[in-house]
Every structure is written in structure tokens, then in C-alpha cells.
Chain A
Amino acid sequence: MEEPENPKPIPAYYCCYLLRSTVRHASLYIGSTPNPIRRLPQHNGVAKGGAKRTARDKLRPWEMTLVVEGFTSRVGALQFEWAWQHPERSRHLDCEDDLDPKPRVKANANAKTGMPKPKPKAQTRRSLVAHLKDLLSLLRSAYFSSWPLRVRFFCVDVYRAWRAWNDRVDTHLPGNIKVILDGDNLATSPNVKQDDELAPVGSINNLSVDYTRIEDHLENSMFMLEDPEDLQCTVCKASISPDQEQVVVCPHPNCRGTSHLLCLSTKFLDATNEPDLLVPTQGTCPSCGNTVQWVTMMRELSFRNRAEKEARAIIRKKEKRARKESAAMEASSGPRSSSIEPRSLPEEASQGDLGPNWFEEVDIESESDFEGRQKNHSSRHPSKLEIVIEDSDWDDAELIE
């Protein structure tokens, strides 16, 4: 009800990553960032702001062996990161492995003491396999399993270990979580297509971490919704008023399907035969008949509704670039090289308008190492901490470290 004035749009990109020292493979680090392209150099000391744990020269350079991407909110990414970092304390893992009673007991104990669970800190360094195991458990947990996540492996050996573990456990990821082989796993460097987020990109630097991926979609929707008179919901056939309603636009380039958020979601949900489901993962566009990912539409919707200026800036950039491209007639490799440019630009533009609040700040804070962030947040929320003593991992997170 008391929604913050400016709710943040779904981030263009947010991932948790497993960092590994190329020098000593036993050294691992889990972090999260909305921009791994910038984050990795930080870890390697090329840029400022690396995590303390990754600061030892002996261990540098680091490599991102895998990333879990597709988080729809920074909070979610941080929760996942924390759970992955603290598997022994995460409720999601316990729920996963054990039956229900145990976590409940723990929760009670936690509520009583109001302190972190009695479990020891257990800072024993975990092996790669252990991390992978935790990752699998997390991805299969009730909480995260329905999230539109993707796991992207950049290192062959890590993927091998992952596979080995999967075989051993004889379990599989939920269907909505995709595994992408990337980097070393590919014989040839892939031809990067921006709009397909499932496609391998070859290296971290080729990841698309900004909203440029949705710029076409955005352009399309904004163009359509600017003149909504003749538009109507594809589901309920009522006229739509984009200013007052949440209107979803089909991401397909040629589709002009618009619909109310609730209408379309209801339609999608009805199709799933899962009455308890509240968020569809995908559905068939009633207009064009193509299968559309729900998160894609939501990303566009939230960005359009909550960051209008940035959206317009992106559109302008795109138009400018298009003009340039058409003028210069660059080679086919253009999109790839030029993609770097738009990546940085929209962020800069957005920074001034939205302030550090929503997605630029993310870079600074969340990318800093875990300790730093914890400190930052704990100092920020001390007063609230007292009020809410309910059992929660997040309380723990505040208190830990």
C-alpha cells in the first residue's frame, strides 16, 4: 500500500557469480552485480572497488566461472547471493534438504533469541563442488525455483563438475531455469545476438547488461501506447488507458498486442493448470500466437512505467545510433562493437534523473564485497532492526559479519 514513490524497474541485468582464482582454483568467491563487465576488473584490481577477499595479488586474476542471471530485483539477487554464501544458514536450503519441521524449529529459536541462529559461522572454505551443490539446491528450492533465472557457465571444468553433481544427485533443474553453456564450453565464439538472452555470448564482456536489449520492444510499445485510442485489451477487449493501467505489450517485433496486466496474466495462468500459481513464466500471446516470456514483458513494462525518462533516452540513443549506422554503413560486426557504447550511455543518462536510488547505485554498493555491503546496510537500518525481530534470514544477514 505504501509503495515507495519511485518503485524501481526490473533491472536490466543482475547476476550472482562464482568467482574463481585462475592461479589457485580452490579460491572461490560468490558475489552479485548488475554489471559483471565492470565488476570483474574490480576484482582483478584493474578498477577500484574490488572485494577485499579478492584483493590478494597471489590469487589474481580472477575469472567468473559461472553466473546466475535474470534476477528481477536487486533484493532477490542479494537474497540469492546471501543464501549461496551462507548455505548453512539459509532457510531455503534447509527447506530443500530437510522436511518442514526443522526450519520451523529453527525459526522459532530465532524468534526467541532475536539473534542469528546458533549455528556456527562455519566459515570453512567450501569447495567448488560444494558451491555447485548449494547452487543446485537453491535453484531447486521453493523460493528460487520459480524465478526466471539462467545459469551461464563460462568454464568447462566447472560445468563438468556441475554435470557430475547433477548426475550424482539425479535431480534436474526446474524447467524454467535454463543452463547456458558459454565461454570455454563453446568451440567457437558465438555470434552474439542481442535480443536473445539465452544465447551464449562467448565471454563476460559480451553480456548485455543494460536495457538496450529491450530497446526494440520499448520502442514498439511506446510508439503504440502514445496513441492509445484505438487500442484495446487483447483479452477483455476493453479499451486501455496506458496512463492509468498497467498495459502489457507483446515483445514480438511485429505484434501489436496490448493487454491489461491482470487480464493477460490471468489468461496465462489459466493456461498453466496450476491454480495456485500467481506469476506465469510464459504464455502465448493472444495476438500473435507466439510464446512470450513473462519476465520480458514485465521488464519492459516496469521500465516503461517507472523510468520513463530513461526509456525515452534509450529510444533516442537508438534512433541516433540507427542514423549513424545507416550513415556510416559499418560492417556487420557493428552491432557487437557498438553495443558497448549504448550500454554505458543509458546508465549515465539515468543517473542524473533517477538519482542513485535504483539502478546505478546498485553498481557501487552491491558490487562491493559482501562485508562492505553488510556494513553499509546494517548501519543504515539499525533502528528498523529493533522493530522487526521476526525470524528472517535477512535479519540474520544484518547481524552477520
Chain B
Amino acid sequence: MASIADVIILSSSPIPPRSPGLARHDLKQVSHLLPRGETPPPIRSATDLSQTHTRSRFFPTPIASNNYPEDVTKPKKRSTKKDPTANTNNKTASSKPRRKAEKVADAPETIPHGDPQRETVGTKDDTVKPTKGRPRKNAKNKDSGNMTLAGKVTKTSGDPPAKKPSKSGKKTVATKLSPLEDMPAKVTPKESNALGKDEVLHLDEAMRRRTDWTPPRETTYEEIATGNDGGRQDKERDPNLTGGFGKRLSDYNYSGSALNPRDLVQDANGGGPTKRRRIDLVSPEIQALLNGRYSDSNDQASAQGESMASAKPKKTTKSKPKKFTTLTARMTAQYSTIDAEQDEPVFDCIPDIGTTKGRRRKTKETEKEYSFTVLSPEAAVEFLNDQDLVFGTCSQLEIDGSPQTLRETQQAICASECLSYPEGTRNKNSREIQESSTRSVSRLAGTRNLWCVGARDTEGSLIQPEKLNVVDLTGGGESPAKKSHDNVERASYKPLQRDWFELEFTDIDSPPAQRPSSPPSTQRGLDSETQAQALVQPPAPIATATALPKAKARATKPAKPAKGADNTPTEAVGSQPTASQGPSMPQYTGFTDAELSKQVSTYGFKAVRGRKKMIDLLQQCWKSKHGSNATSGSQPIYQLEQQKEPVSKIYDIPSPISDAKAKATVKSKPAISVKNRKSLDATKSPSVSQTNLQTGPKKNSRAKPITGTSTSFIDVEEIQDSEEEIIPSPSQVQKHYTDIYSKSKTSSQVQHHSLDILTKTPSPSPTKRKVVSSKISVKRPSSSASITAMRTAESSKEISLADISAQITQAVRVQPRLSPLSSSRGSRGRPTWHEKILMYDPIILEDFTAWLNIEGLGLVGEDREVGTASVREWCESKGICCCWKKNASW
């Protein structure tokens, strides 16, 4: 506020409303304290401000303008000549001021006198050349400057009474008090210099500008008033000082106002041609408002002082509303609640001041609005909570239409989820959140995540194929017979699916026929389509389980099933092929890196670098988890079996579950309570059932030995392909899971386990196998099982050096020397690691580590793997020069 006030003061008039207050303080202080020191500074500050600003902004002050014409026209040459004239002028000027001062002295008590006086003076200045001379003198010499200064002081400050007596004294004192006087003198020369540089300026323009910027009447009155106050008291103490400062003020302000009678008139009219000034003026009054002190703007109040101001607050405030036109004013006004209240009555009173009524109303309204919007924290929080957050691109949001429809769709989605994911409230919540946040796209992601979540049972451990097997043993046998039920199943859950879509898209005005195709299209291309299918499926099985009869399904469904029911047959047929593909592998390529890494972590792997690697790993994991043939459409047999499985499984259980659900309507929690383990499996979560589907072949393998062997063969082949990579092959991952599981639950796994081992032994790379087979074939079987398990944990584990170093050493020693007769060029071309070490070759850690992990440690039956760090430690402990690959070229 202060700053604003200052600015106003500066721009408008040197001694604005504020000055009186200062003056008063000064008076008090002065009276008590030192006369000189106290009085000058406040005034001085004001003057300084005015000076600087005037200097910077308004070079063409009247004085300057007066000076300049001569300077410009008659450069320095003339200055010498001029001196005398200037002196004379000064003298005349000084004399005149005295007279004026005298006149003023009489006037002080009367309020309005200030203006006329100044005006007269101004006119005189304008018209008469002597005024021109004044400033010049200041600039030129201290001598004359002193003289003129003194004279000015009397004029400007408007302290006629004070100056009268002291006139002569002032002069003398002024001369004597060189330091004090020097201040202004010094300042003025600078100004003059500056002006001189700006010689280009035209006087006329300057004059015009000046008029534009002259202060309004009010301030001038104020000045006078202050002058009076200060003057009286100053007289007694230090006429000179006050006079000097007052003089300065007069230089910039008073004379100007005097020069511009027009301005005054304009002000009186209320709307000057210049917008600028008015804006500036706004702030001082605001300040006045805020301060609650007097507003001295009114003509009458100016001279009357405090009592008057306090007595007539309304009048003073009247002027304020006008000025709230600036943004800052409005904004700041909000925070001064009391003042704002005061303002309102003021507004009513305002019309006098002449701003348009519309404006006022506007401001009023805006103010009210603002006050309304400023909420208490709690209210704000509440407000926010009430708001529905809908994220999406503009286009999406636009398409989605009204918040009402959004809300409805969300509710519908929630409802459908409640059905499909009865047990996992957490899932539901997360899904809801995602749903609400990113609409359709996020929904897909959500389902994908749910897949992963669903792959784990309630304790968070991976759901094991064995569990499924138990189910399958029963279901598998029946499966062939159940084929026929497939269609029924499809038909039954298709409507549900259909409803689901419809719920989502009903509000969009798309023809119903297009709906099934529309969801994928809204998502991202092909990827989304498969995902959409995956999405569709999870709810399906359970839905079918809960509501085999269509009527039930409809009853449970919250929204508009009727429509869907009509279309079901055709749709079922149409969507059958896609659905029959079973849970397709999520399109990892469509994932973001973050999602990928998350997925990787869900599979229990450490973060892998490189998007490609991650995708590969995920795909392998997925394959291994869901069965290697899940994605491959080329194996129709397994697909068929997959299809059968769910059907059979569900079909076996229908009555208990459906009953339970019928009772529970939406929430299927009670279903879990049913002790039947089958039901447990079934209700687990759609993804569980999915995994069941995927692992179907495996189950089959146990149930039907023939198919089992075939699948195991397939696994083996994959292993060989992927063995070269460090990434564990799907079979290994699978093995990992199975191992873990077998530890926890070893029921009837023996057979399966042994089978697994047999199939997996060929997994290591062919070369390795050769070596191994030749030498350590005995160890192989025992270690093979654990090797695969350990490998998955490889990178994450920090293997202690002590444990492994001996093994490394052993491995290095054991490495068979390539016999000269072997096909390779011989050991000279490819020395063994021990030979390299013996020859002081710097060991490249990456290569050495790779060898150790691939081959070396296997030679000594070590299952663990080592990282480069531990290998380096080993090398350094042995004093073997080692380095990283990048440094090998050194």
C-alpha cells in the first residue's frame, strides 16, 4: 500500500493527502525535538520522491521548459551574457515571490487561497521571463541559486506568515547554511544538466505533457494546507529549511499547477481527458480508505484538518469507489473487509463524482463476487470434494457430454465391477479411480493391472497352476462333453458384455449397432482392441457363473439390460471368434515404459533396462504364466481346450454360486464363504480364472499324459531358443513358480515335478551341455532344478564374495584347455581365462562375468550367478588386473 501511495504522490502531486499527516507528525516531533534535523527530513523525503520521479519521468517540467528555450536557442555562449539578465530576472523573481508570499501570508487561514496564488504565480512564470531565469540560476551558481531558492521557498511552501518575518533572515541564513542549501543546489544542477542533454524536447510538448500530469485540485489544496501547518511551526524553528524544501516542492508541483489552470478545471469537471492520471489517483484514496484516515480529496476538507476529516468520513470515502477501477485496487479491496463494508454505502453516495453508474454497479458486483469466492479452507475443501474431477483431453470431455452422463457411466461401471470383482474392494476402488480419471483408456489399463493382481491370490503369492489342476482334474474329464455348452455360455455372458458397453456409451448418440466396434476405436488402435477383448473377458466368466439364466443376469445388472438382450444372439455369434482367442497377451508394446517396469516388477523381476528387453521379458513371463500357446493362434487344439475349461469349471459349480449370489445380489463375498474349493477358485477373480484357462494345457498334461508330453516338448524348444539370453526363459520362470509352490504345497506334485526336471534338463545351451555332459554329468540333475530357480534372482542378489570367490577360482582352474586337436584354432587363439590371467592380460570384467555365469560356474556346480561387481572384487583380491570393457582399449 505504501508503495502505491508513494507512486500516487509522485505522479500526481508532490504533496498529496499524505503530506498533512507527515507534517503533523513533524510538527509534533519538531516541537519536542530538534528543530532542524527533524523537520527537514520528512519534507525532504517527499520532495526527494517528487524530484526523482519528476526528473525521470517529466523532464519538461514547467521550470525546465522555461529554462530550456533559452538554453536551446542560445547555447553556452550566451550563458555568460545571460548571467546578468538572469540575475536580474532572479532578483525580480525573488522580489515577486516575496510579494506573493506576503499576499499568501495574509491568506493562509482562508483555505482556497492557495490555488489562486499559485495560479497567479504560474501565470506570471509562464508569461514573464524572469521565471525562466530561476531554475537556470540554480543550475548555474550557488550564489544566485541561494537567492532564488529562498524566494521560491516562500512561494511554494505557501508559508506566507512564516516567511514574512524571516524573509531577510532566510536569505542570509540560506547563504550561511551552505550545506543545507547545497543539497538542493546540487540537485538542481543535475536536473538542469539532464535537461540540457534532452534539449531535443520541445517546449510545447513538454508543456502539454506537464499539464497532463499536474495534480488535481485536491492535492494542491492539500499542499497549501500542509504548507500552512508546516509553515507556521516551521517559522519559529527553521524557516530556512522548510522554506528550502518547500521551494523545491514548488519547483515541481506548485508552479506546474499554477501553470495549468486547465487542469484544475478539468479536475473540477470530474473527467479529464487523460485517463492516466485518474488511474493513478485511485490508489491514494484506497490507501486513505484502508488507513481509515482522512481523505483530503475534497475541496472543503483540505484546510480543515483532522477533525474535519474524521467528522466527514463519508465525504472522503465518496471519492474512493471511483478509483476501484484498477485491478489492483479491486483485488486489494477484497482483503480489507471492513473497508469494503464501508465502501458499499459510499457507492450509493457516489454519483456526485461522476463516474458512470454502470461502472459502479459493476464494481459492486465484482466485489461481491470476490467476497463470495473467498472461501474458508474447510468450505473450499468441501467444495472441491463435491466437484467431480474428470480428466481427459478437451475432445474427450466434449464428447462425453454433461457431467450427469459421466457420473452415470461411472456408476454403471462401478456396478458392473462390483459384480465382476466381488471380493476385491481394493480392486474396485483402484479401478474406480482410474476409471474416473481417464475414462475408457484408463479402464483398459486398469483391467490389465487387475490381471496382474488377479494372478495372485489373497495372500499376494502367485496363484499356482496346481490349484487349477485340482479343478481341472474334475473339469478336464468332462470337458469334451461340455463343448456344446460353450455357445450357451457365450450367449449368456454376451448380453452382459453388451450391457456393459451400452452403459458406457448410451449417452453418446451413436447407433447401437456400432457400439461393439466403437470402444476399440476410441482407444488406441489395434492394441486397444485386443485389450478390450481382454477387458471384456474378465467379467464374463463370473458373470456367467452368477447368472447363467439370462434373467438373473439382467436382474443383477444395474442399468439397461433390455436392449442388449435383444441383440445378444447376433452379437454373440459375431464376437465369438474374438472371444474364443482367449485371454490374449497384453500388447506390451503399447505400454509406456513406466507401465512396463511395473509389470516387470509384478512378475517379481528386478527392473530391466531397455524397453525391448522389458517387453521380451514380459512376454515370456506372460507366456510362461498363461501357457506358452495362449497367444499363438496356430495351435487350435489348446485353444479349444482352453475354451472348454472355463465352461466346464463353471458349469460344475453353477448352482451353489448362483444361489449364493442370488442372495447377495451384488456382492459375492458370501460366495467365498462357501467351503467348496471349486467355488473358491471360481470366485477368486476373473484373472484367476484366466490363468486357469491359460495354464489349461498344463493341467491337461497331467490329466492326459499325451497332451502333457506334447506341451512339455514345446516348452523345451522355447528354452533352447531363449537360453542364450540372460533373461530367464519362460520355462525357467515357470519353473521358478512351480518350485516355490512345490515348497509350500506338495500334494500330488511329485509326478509333475519329476517330469518337469526331465524336460528341463536340456535347457542349458547346447555348448554348455556338451561340456557338462562330458565332465560333470553327474552333478547335473541335482543342480538343474535349483539353477533355474536361482537364475531368476540373479541380478538382484548381492552375492557375498567370500562364498563365491572360491567357486570362481575353481571355475577358472577347471576350465578345460581347448585341446590343440579340437576344431577351433587352438588355445593360442583363444586362451582360457586362466591362461589370460597367467599372461597378465587385463581381464575384461563383463566378458569374464558372462563366461562365469554361462559356463564357468556351471563347471563347478555352482548354481548362483555373479555380478560384475563381485567378479571385480574377486579379481582385485587375487591381484588380477581387471578392467571394464570400455577401458580395455587402453
| B-binding residues in A (CB < 8 A) | 1-4, 7, 10, 72-76, 78-79, 91-92, 95, 107, 111, 142-147, 241-246, 261-262, 265, 276-279, 294-295, 298, 301-302, 305, 366, 377, 380-381, 384-385, 388, 390-392, 394-395
Partner of B840, one of A3, A145, A279: A279
| Highest count of chain B CB atoms <10 Å: which of A143, A380, A384 | A143
Given contacts A278-B809, A394-B884, contact A298 B828 (CB under 8 A): no
Q: Are A144 and B868 in contact (CB under 8 A)?
A: no
Name which residue of chain A comes closest to B827, CB basis.
A245
| B268 CB within 8 Å of chain A | no
Q: Nearest-CB distance from A238 to chain B (Å)?
A: 10
Please tell me if the beta carbons of B881 and A76 are within 8 angstroms of each other in the complex.
yes
From the candidates B830, B884, B890, name the one contacting A392 in the complex (CB within 8 A).
B884
Among B847, B880, B881, B883: residue with most chain A CB under 10 A: B881
Q: Could you tell me the distance in whole angstroms from the C-beta of A107 to the nearest C-beta in chain B? A: 7
A75 contact from B828, B832, B847, B890, Cβ within 8 A: B890
A73 closest partner in B (C-beta): B842
B886 touching A384 by the CB < 8 A rule?
yes
Can you spell out 29 A-B residue pairs with CB atoms less than 8 angstroms apart? Answer: A1-B830, A4-B889, A72-B840, A75-B881, A76-B840, A76-B842, A91-B876, A142-B876, A143-B876, A146-B879, A241-B826, A242-B828, A244-B829, A245-B820, A245-B826, A245-B828, A246-B828, A246-B839, A277-B878, A278-B813, A278-B837, A279-B840, A279-B879, A295-B840, A301-B839, A384-B884, A384-B885, A388-B885, A390-B872
A107 and B877 alpha carbons, distance in the complex (Å): 16
Kindly identify which residue among A10, A305, A366, A385 contacts B828, using a CB–CB cutoff of 8 Å.
Answer: A305
Q: Is the CB of A246 within 8 A of B885?
A: no
Cβ contact within 8 Å between A241 and B820: yes
Q: Which of A74, A143, A301 contacts B890 (CB 8 A)?
A: A74
Q: Is B840's CB under 8 angstroms from A75's CB?
A: no
- CB distance B830 to A3 under 8 Å? yes
Q: Does B369 contact A (CB under 8 A)?
A: no
Known interface pairs A142-B879, A279-B879, A384-B885; A246-B840 also in contact (CB < 8 Å): no
**Distance in Å from the Cβ of A83 to the closest Cβ of chain B?**
11
Which residues of the partner chain A approach B869 to less than 8 Å between Cβ atoms?
A: 107, 111, 390-392
Contact residues in A for B847 (Cβ distance below 8 Å):
1-3
Q: Determine whether the beta carbon of B839 is less than 8 Å from that of A75.
A: no
Q: Is B470 an interface residue when CB atoms closer than 8 A count as contact?
A: no
Q: Does B831 contact A (CB under 8 A)?
A: yes
Chain B residues whose C-beta falls within 8 Å of the C-beta of A366 in the assembled complex = 890
Q: Chain B, 847-890, contact with A by CB distance < 8 Å: what is the 0/1 string?
A: 10011000000000000000111001000111111011111111
Residue of B nearest to A242 (CB): B828
Contact with A along B831-849 (1 / 0, CB 8 A): 1101111111110001100
A243-B826, A244-B827 given as contacts; is B885 within 8 A of A262 (CB)? no
Q: How far is the CA of A261 from the CA of B887 in the complex (A)?
A: 26
Which B residue sits closest to A103, measured CB to CB?
A: B873
Please indicate the chain B residues that have their CB under 8 angstroms from the CB of A73 in the complex: 840-842, 881
Q: Which residues of A contact B850 (CB under 8 A)?
A: 1
A131–B99 CA distance with the chains assembled, in angstroms: 93
Least CB distance from B556 to A in Å reads: 52
Asked whether any CB of chain A lies closer than 8 Å to the CB of B262, the reply is: no
Contact present for B884 and A261 (CB under 8 Å):
no
**Which residues on B sit within 8 Å (CB–CB) of A76?**
840, 842, 881
Would you call A75 and B887 a contact (CB within 8 A)?
yes
With A79-B881, A261-B839, A298-B839 known as contacts, the answer to whether A276 contacts B809 (CB < 8 A) is: yes
Give the CA-CA distance A210 to B581 in the complex, in Å. 73
Q: What is the CA–CA distance of A388 and B877 in the complex, to the nearest angstrom?
A: 21
Given contacts A3-B830, A279-B880, A390-B868, contact A377 B835 (CB under 8 A): no
CB contacts (< 8 Å) of A243 on chain B: these are 826, 828
If A278-B812, A392-B872 touch, whether A385 touches B839 (CB-CB below 8 Å) is: no
Size of interface on B: residues with Cβ below 8 Å to A? 45
Instruction: Given contacts A79-B883, A302-B841, list 19 more A-B pairs with CB under 8 A.
Output: A3-B847, A75-B883, A75-B888, A76-B842, A76-B881, A144-B879, A145-B879, A244-B825, A244-B826, A244-B829, A246-B827, A246-B839, A262-B834, A262-B835, A278-B838, A302-B840, A381-B887, A390-B872, A395-B884
Distance in Å from the Cβ of A295 to the closest Cβ of chain B? 7
Instruction: Say whether B817 faces chain A, with CB atoms less than 8 Å apart.
Output: yes
User: What's the least CB distance linking B844 to chain A, in Å?
Assistant: 8
Closest to A95 in B: B876
Residues on B with beta carbons closer than 8 Å to the beta carbon of A294: 838
| Complex partner residue of A244 from B809, B828, B841, B883, CB under 8 angstroms | B828
Residues of A with C-beta under 8 A to B827: 244-246
Top 10 closest A-B pairs, CB basis? A244-B826, A146-B879, A72-B840, A384-B886, A244-B820, A381-B886, A75-B842, A143-B876, A76-B881, A75-B883
Q: Across the interface, do A388 and B884 meet the contact criterion of CB distance under 8 Å?
A: yes
Smallest Cβ-Cβ distance to A385: which chain B residue: B886
Of the candidates A243, A278, A294, the one having the most CB atoms from chain B within 10 angstroms of its own CB is A278
List, in ascending order, chain B residues with CB within 8 A of A261's CB. 831, 835, 838-839
The residue that A377 contacts in the complex, of B830, B831, B885, B890, with Cβ under 8 A, is B890
Question: Which residues of chain B in 21-50 are interfacial with respect to chain A, using CB atoms and an 8 Å cutoff?
Answer: none
Question: In the complex, how many angstroms separate the beta carbon of B768 from the nearest chain A beta carbon?
Answer: 13
Min distance, Cβ A367 to any Cβ of chain B, angstroms = 13
Report whether A388 and B886 are in contact in the complex, using a CB–CB cutoff of 8 Å: yes
Minimum distance in angstroms from B29 CB to a CB of chain A:
57
- In contact, A276 and B839 (Cβ under 8 angstroms): no
Contact residues in A for B878 (Cβ distance below 8 Å): 146, 276-279
How far does the alpha carbon of A261 sit from the alpha carbon of B835 in the complex, in Å? Answer: 7
Instruction: Select from chain A the residue with minimum beta-carbon distance to B841.
Output: A7
Q: Which residues of chain B are near A142, meaning CB under 8 Å?
A: 876-877, 879
Report how far A395 CA is from B869 CA in the complex, Å: 12
Shortest beta-carbon distance, B803 to chain A, in Å? 14
Distance in angstroms between the alpha carbons of A107 and B829 in the assembled complex:
36
Q: How far is the CA of A261 from the CA of B890 in the complex (A)?
A: 25
Q: How many angstroms from the CA of A265 to the CA of B831 in the assembled complex?
A: 14
Given A73-B881, A245-B828, A392-B872: A262 in contact with B846 (beta carbons within 8 A): no
Which residue, B812, B839, B840, B880, has most C-beta atoms of chain A within 10 A? B839
Complex Cα–Cα for A392 and B871 (A):
12
Chain B nearest CB: distance from A350 CB in Å?
18
Residues of A within 8 A of B876 (CB): 91-92, 95, 142-143
Expressed in whole angstroms, the Cα–Cα distance for A279 and B881 within the complex equals: 11
**Minimum Cβ distance to chain A for residue B631 (Å):** 31
Give the residues in chain B near A1, CB-CB below 8 Å: 830, 847, 850-851
Q: Bound state CA distance, A294 and B846, in angstroms?
A: 27
Cα–Cα distance between A95 and B869 once the two chains are bound (Å): 15
CB of A246 to closest CB in B, whole Å: 6
Which chain A positions have C-beta within 8 A of B883? 75, 79, 394
Tell me the smallest distance from the CB of A373 to a CB of chain B, in Å.
Answer: 9
Residues of A within 8 A of B888 (CB): 4, 75
Give complex CA distance A7, B830 in Å. 11
Measured CA separation A135–B19 after assembly (Å): 79
Closest A residue, CB atoms, query B822: A244
Instruction: Say whether B831 contacts A246, CB under 8 Å.
Output: yes
CB-CB < 8 A to A111: which residues of B?
Answer: 869
Q: CB-CB < 8 A to B831: which residues of A?
A: 3, 246, 261
Residues on B with beta carbons closer than 8 Å to the beta carbon of A244: 820, 825-829
Nearest-neighbor residue (CB-CB) of A264 within chain B: B838
Docked Cα-Cα span, A373 to B61, in Å, equals 69
CA distance A36 to B429 in the complex (A): 74
Residue of A nearest to B809 (CB): A276
Tell whether, in the assembled complex, residue A278 and residue B890 are in contact, meaning their CB atoms are under 8 Å apart: no
Residue of A nearest to B837 (CB): A278
A86 smallest CB distance to B (angstroms): 16
- Bound-state CA distance A341–B558 (Å) is 100
Partner of A298, one of B838, B851, B867, B887: B838
B196 to chain A: closest CB distance in Å?
56
Q: Which of A79, A146, A390, A395 contacts B867 (CB 8 A)?
A: A390
On chain B, the residues within 8 Å of A377 by CB distance are 887, 890
